[in-house]
Amino acid sequence: MSEKNKEILTVGICGLGTVGGGTLSLLEQNAALITVRAGCPIRVAHVATRTPKPHLCGQVAQTSLDPLAITADPEVDVVVETMGGFDVAFEVIKRSISNGKHVVTANKALIAERGNELFALASANEVTLAFESAVGGGIPIIKALREGLAANDIEWLAGIINGTGNFILSEMSAKQSGFSEVLQQAQELGYAEADPTFDVEGIDAAHKLTIMSAIAFGIPLQFERTYTEGISGISPADISFAEELGYRIKHLGIARKTARGVEMRVHPTLVSNSRLLANVNGVGNAVMVQGNFVGSTLYSGPGAGAEATASAVVADLIDLARDRMAGVTNPVRPALGTTQADSSLDVLPIEQIEVGYYLKIPVLDKLGVMAKLSAVLQERGISIEAIIQKESENSETLPVVILTRVVREYELNAALDELAGLDEVTGPVTRIRIEPFDGEA
């Protein structure tokens, strides 16, 4: 081992894109304050990037093209993985851990899908794998769940956890802008994933929900069992019908512990416009967490972008510096808040959840249609809470919008199959879940 100065935390950064670049800038700009808070300076000694950025790397001793070079650099105590992606990022994290280095990553996909394996490896090597920046951008939601609420039985959590999706829905609602135009803006602002279908189809949110659920309920990471539905099917008409009925459409990740199992689901959701969550707009993220002692809590802030995400990466680095200055050699915080994940809590299939529904049904504009639709729903015990039926001036079809009361999803599915078979129903029915929320926010 080299004769390193133990009073400096030395960092290598793999990937100098939005998050890596933001991290380097923050470490430089707030260096004095960070040194005081951390108890020692945090110095970036090595950066790996395919696109050299001399304006950012002036103080950095070494730059490499190959991120694996950092994993073997004896000068480096902590590897910051901000490349994203799967295979190379996995190899970087695995090799860094095996070489006894702590790792800080913003890679939610990797944590959600391969975290069980990586945390076991980190634990065996007595190093920390930290990931605050993987969920909620700048919001310290991992700390809130794992440390701040550690004494509570978490009953449920619900959040807007994809900045790009929230930006798109907010802009569509406020400016009646088209979907593709808004998506392009989100990409230009550095919010969107390299493959924006991850944002739009809910995969990115499902990664984050998987991570929060594991911490909240003490269960293993189970991305493959998280139900995922995107926002690409939401039309401006749905947004304005929902608003007419007193709701906003938000793309939510929801996790709930029920007597029948754990729900983990990401989908567009009608939220009453009197709720705080309905009023979180733009790239903002917000997560409500209901604990059995604390009650309902809400965490909100910027969920994506260079500065916000860098704030969370550097917070993890400061934690590591503090541990080191205190002489802690093993990680003090179990990565997911518990040393023994509970595999006995089953994940509830989506057909078993119980919520209300928004239905938009295209029907022929003729007498008796409403009675037929109501009969199909009533036969299955589905109560109607509200109906909107618009006059049609120049079309033979018109949309009927119905809000149902809470019903089990498989009953609703059966009713939708029946509705689809009616001659009066002229096209596919749009179905959006309505979250009633049993907390205060």
Contact residues toward ligand HSE (CB under 6 A) are 137, 162-164, 191-193, 199, 204, 303-304
Q: Which is nearer to ligand HSE, 102 or 251 (CB)?
A: 251
Q: Which is nearer to ligand HSE, 192 or 270 (CB)?
A: 192
Distance CA 201, CA 284 (A): 18
Q: How far is the CB of 221 from ligand HSE (least distance, A)?
A: 17
Q: How far is the CB of 303 from ligand HSE (least distance, A)?
A: 5
* Whether residue 208 lies in the annotated active site: yes
Distance CA 157, CA 215 (A): 11
Q: Which tokens go with 345? A: 């809590």
Q: Which one from 101, 208, 250, 257 is the annotated catalytic residue?
A: 208
Q: Which is nearer to ligand HSE, 291 or 303 (CB)?
A: 303
Q: How far is the CB of 201 from ligand HSE (least distance, A)?
A: 12
CA 260 from chain center: how many Å?
Answer: 24
Give the residue carrying structure tokens 């009197």: 274
Q: Which residues sit opposite 269 in a β-bridge?
A: 250, 433
Q: How far is the CB of 123 from ligand HSE (least distance, A)?
A: 25
Residues contacting residue 117 through CB under 8 Å, at least 6 positions apart: none
Residue 350 is given by DSSP the state G
CB 49 within 8 A of CB 80: no
Q: How far is the CB of 187 from ligand HSE (least distance, A)?
A: 10
Q: Which is nearer to ligand HSE, 132 or 263 (CB)?
A: 132
Q: Which is nearer to ligand HSE, 17 or 137 (CB)?
A: 137
H or E segment to which residue 80 belongs: strand 78-81
CA 335 from chain center: how many Å?
Answer: 18
CA 41 from chain center: how many Å?
Answer: 32
Q: Which is nearer to ligand HSE, 22 or 163 (CB)?
A: 163
For the chain, the residue count is 441
Q: Which is nearer to ligand HSE, 310 or 373 (CB)?
A: 310
Q: How far is the CB of 190 from ligand HSE (least distance, A)?
A: 9
Q: Which tokens go with 116? A: 């069980």
Distance CA 30, CA 230 (A): 38
CB 77 within 8 A of CB 11: yes
Q: How far is the CB of 253 from ligand HSE (least distance, A)?
A: 11
Residue 425 is given by DSSP the state B
Distance CA 306, CA 23 (A): 8
Helices (H), 388-437: 409-420
Residue 144 is given by DSSP the state I
Residues labelled as active-site residues: 208
